Structures are given as C-alpha cells and as structure tokens.
Amino acid sequence: MTRFTKSFTQQEPIPEEGIEHALEVMRSGRLHRYNAVGDEYTETELLEREFAAYTGSKYCLACASGGYALHIAMRAVGVKAGDKVLCNAFTLAPVPGAIHNAGAVPVLVETSEDFTIDLVDLEAKAAPDDVHYLMLSHMRGHLVDMDRLMDICERHGICVIEDCAHTMGATWNGRKSGTFGRVGCFSTQTYKHINSGEGGLLITDDDELMARAIMLSGSYMLYGRHPAAPGRETFERIRFETPNYSGRMDNLRAAILRPQLRNLDAQCGRWNELYRVVEEGLRKIHGIRVPHRAEPEYFVGSSIQFSLPQLSAEAVCGFIQRCEENGVNIKWFGDADPKGYTSRFDSWQYFDCTQPLPKTVKVLETMCDMRLPLTFDVEDCKTIVAVIAQALDSIQG
C-alpha cells in the first residue's frame, strides 16, 4: 500500500532577503505605506513599480487582499448598485463576494469541460443591453481562449475585469494574464504564487481608473506618493467624488513580496515541472480525464485538476476518502456541502444562485482539485500518482 507523508499546505519559507527587508521595516517602525522620510520610496511603492514593470502595465496598486482589489476594480470601472456582472460559475467565493460587496448582481456563466468559462454561454449572456461587465476568473490557473473571449466582449461592449489570483506569471500568446481586460487583479494570499499571507495587486493602463482605485484604496490626498500612477492632474478631476474604502497594503508585506517577485518566473518553471510529472502519470490511469491545455497558453501549475467522468458522486466521495487515508489531499468542488476553501455556486445564497447551470453541475460533480506546493519534488509527485491510481482501482473494483 503506497502512502504519502508530506503536507499539502506547507509553503516554502520566505526568502532570506525578504526576511531581512521585513526586519528593517519593523526596526524603522514605518510600516504604513505613506510613512516615508523625505523623497525615499517605501517598500510598497517599490513593489508597485516593480510589479507594473513585470506585467508590462503602466500602473499598479498594492491592496490589503485580492478580494479587495476586485472590489475597488469594480468601483473604479463604474459598477453601480444593481448592475449585472457576468462571472464564472466555477470560481472561489471571494469573486461573487466582491461583486456583491459592490452592490452588483452576479450573473453566472457556464463552465467548459476544461474548467474555463464557457464561451458559448458567455456570448449568449453578454448580449442583453443591460449587461456591461465581466469578472473573468482564471480559476485554478486555466486560461480560456483570450482572443475569442475579448472578441465577444468587445462586440457586446463588455468591460472585462480579470481575476488573476491563480495566473500570476501566466501568459496567452506571450501576453501576461491581467493585461487583456481594462483592469487585472492578483492575490498574494499564502497559497498563491507569491506569499504575504494576505495581499492583492491591481494593474491597468487606464489613467482615470487607476486614479480612482488609488483614492478608493485610502490614499487620502497622498496620491503623489504613488510612483506607478498617473499624474496629479488626473486626481484633481476625481478626488472629491471618490470615497475612501481603506484597503492599503503595508510596507511589511511589500518587503516580503519584492524578492519573491524577482524569483517568480523561476518558481513558475518549478511548478510546471511538478505539474507535468503528475499530468503524465494521471493520463496513464484509466478513468481519469486531465484537461486540455491550448498551445498559446503558458500556465502556472501550482495546482492540478482532473475529472472522474465514469464515477457517481458517491464513488467520487469514496475515492477522495481513500486518497485522504493514504496522505493525498484532494478537494471536490462538486460537494453540495462546502468544505474549507471549496464551495459550489448554489451555496452562495446571498444572491439568486438558482440560475440553471447544467454544464457546470456536470463538470463539478466529477472534478478533483489538488495543490502542488513547491515543497514537493518529482519523486513526491510520482508517489502521489501511485496513491491516486490505487485509490481509483479500489473504487472501480
């Protein structure tokens, strides 16, 4: 009987450079992003400038969380109470939560068998005259055909906000995720690609949008302290009409993140090496379907998803339990009872979650989800595949 003994929730330590920078910030006592001496740049200001450069964007704003970045992105593009916002039916709860927080109404879009937003359903739901926004979630790092998606949205006058919590470092046809829509939002929560416990980053090339986002984040009248931002004249137009929602990132978290950002591409390569080992192993197991990855997509394999299309819901539960008994932690988004970070669209009962979504239900009923932390190595991945194979074999008899 093969068993796996490592933790699926253990992250790599923060780089020593990040620890040293964090200690310097703590020794200075200047944790607040605007608490600087003279003309020096704070850690948060430097992070914003560096992340803007990394993504090829004009502007970047560091926020308290990825969910907060999503919320102020919607406010900054003009979403108002009662507006309809299209959204993936397969996503994590903070995404519809951010839409609800803005007073808007989520309209859920079906899911393809490769776990991306369904473009046929998107086309249909983007057509009505009262729909103007899409919160596109690149859920679990799966990039849809971005050329087709943007064509649909441009034809229907849909403003795209990208949720890139799982695609920092990913590209479509060489173009960074987060740069297709009007604004892109990223997360630096512990299980994302760079880790500050909590945190978010917002990018855009739009002058007025960024000015509004900075004011919304709680800049008071200190917007001149943002080097990755438009000039003062843009703020002068909107500063008295934009509320303060106070969701800034602090210098301590920024100090931890900056060295990780410099190493991000190398880390993405390491994740993809692990992903390919697991993917290759799973493809050899009868009864498992691994999603297709399109040629233009460069993804970051920090997790892997697969389907068990021949199993009933009861059998999927049994499979997951057997994996768990042998040390492999698999999540199931098809469970009607939310557990941990996973929940299904019909459990978000703070809005009309009874929208008929038969394709999504079918996809989630047999979809399994598994993290691939960088504390694993190639041999660990082979062991995980062996545990999955024996668990499925025991279920299928």
Q: Please give the average per-residue pLDDT across 221-246, as a whole number.
A: 95
Contact 14, 199 (CB under 8 A): no
pLDDT at 38: 86
- CATH architecture label of 264-396: Alpha-Beta Complex (3.90)
Q: What is the pTM of this model?
A: 0.97
Q: Residue 353: is its pLDDT beyond 80?
A: no
Using pLDDT thresholds of 50, 70 and 90, give the confidence band for residue 256.
very high
Domain 16-262 and domain 264-396 have a common topology: no
Task: Please tell me the predicted confidence (pLDDT) of residue 341.
Answer: 87
pLDDT tens for residues 23-68?
999 999 999 999 998 889 999 999 999 999 999 999 999 999 999 9
* pLDDT confidence of residue 325: 97
**pLDDT for 339 beyond 90:** no
- Average pLDDT across the chain, whole number: 96
Q: What is the torsion angle, in degrees rounded to the nearest 10, for the CA atoms of residue 227, residue 228, residue 233 and residue 235?
A: -100
Does domain 16-262 fall into CATH 3.40.50.2300? no
Residue 192 neighbours by CB under 8 Å, 6+ apart: 66, 165, 166, 168, 186, 302
Contact assessment for residue 257 and residue 13, using Cβ atoms and an 8 Å cutoff:
no
The single-letter code of the amino acid at 19 is: I
CA distances to 15, 170, 264, 300, 330 from 374, in Å:
13, 17, 12, 12, 17
Q: Is the pLDDT of residue 355 over 90?
A: no
As a whole number of angstroms, the distance between CA 305 and CA 56 comes to 29
Tens-place pLDDT, residues 84-113: 999 999 999 999 999 999 999 999 999 999
Mean of pLDDT values over 76-82:
97
Is it the case that residue 150 has pLDDT exceeding 80?
A: yes
51 DSSP 8-state letter:
H
What pLDDT sits at residue 164?
98
What is the per-residue pLDDT for 354?
A: 81
Residue 240 confidence (pLDDT): 95
pLDDT of residue 1: 84
Structural domain spans, the chain: 16-262, 264-396
Q: What is the predicted pLDDT for the residue at 334?
A: 87
pLDDT-derived band at 335, boundaries 50, 70, 90: confident
